[in-house]
Amino acid sequence: MLCPYCGYDNTKVLESRFSCEKNNIRRRRECENCKQRFTTYEKIELTPLNVIKKNGSKEVYSREKLIKSINIACNKCGIKPQIIQEIADRLELEFSFSSKKEVHSRFIGQKVLSILENINKIAYIRYLSVFEEFSREEQFFEKLQNLTYLH
């Protein structure tokens, strides 16, 4: 990426923002030579993504469904809707970069969990309980205990 001011070919990325609606990445850059700042946009080519579910059936990835599942886990946890949108953005960005055509629902779930774990422990536990489909109550409390031991 050449600096539009001085032509120097090393620029530092200060900030990257993914926009789902516009389907692009906006990057704020700074020239390492003249320190001028400018913005670039990268268009993402999305290939339709199939989600492979636990029972082996496939369906087309739906952002709406993903958001809904995170919303359920985050209900009354005080997490802003904006944060949930950003989680979806992060995941979609990752899918588009890896240019995968198929992804396991389990993989999506694990990604959501790893993000929630750092944001909100209650939302994390809730998502985990749905994700793992605990067959017995003890299993749930076992996980809960393991988690509290982390502190």
* Nearer to Zn ion (CB atom), residue 37 or residue 90: 37
What lies within 8 Å, CB to CB, of 23 at 6+ separation is 43, 44, 46
Phi, psi of 54 (to 5 degrees): -55, -40
How far apart (Å, rounded) are the C-alpha atoms in residues 24 and 22? 5
Least distance (Å) from Zn ion to the CB of residue 74? 43
* 116 lines the binding site for Zn ion (CB under 5 A): no
What lies within 8 Å, CB to CB, of 7 at 6+ separation is none
Least distance (Å) from Zn ion to the CB of residue 9? 9
List the one residue from 2, 5, 12, 114 that touches Zn ion (CB under 5 A). 5
Residues 22-41 that bind Zn ion (CB under 5 A): 31, 33-34
Least distance (Å) from Zn ion to the CB of residue 34? 3
* Nearer to Zn ion (CB atom), residue 9 or residue 142: 9
Q: Which stretch binds Zn ion (CB under 5 A): 8-16, 42-50, 60-68, 117-125?
A: 8-16
DSSP code of 34? T
* Nearer to Zn ion (CB atom), residue 9 or residue 42: 9
- Angle of CA points 78, 24, 74, to nearest 5°: 15
Closest CA to 55 of 133, 115, 111, 127: 133
Interface size with Zn ion, residues (CB under 5 A): 7
Least distance (Å) from Zn ion to the CB of residue 2? 8
The full 3-state SS of 94-109, as one line of letters, equals HHHHHCCCEEEHHHHH
Q: Where along the sequence are the contacts to Zn ion (CB under 5 A)?
A: 3, 5-6, 8, 31, 33-34
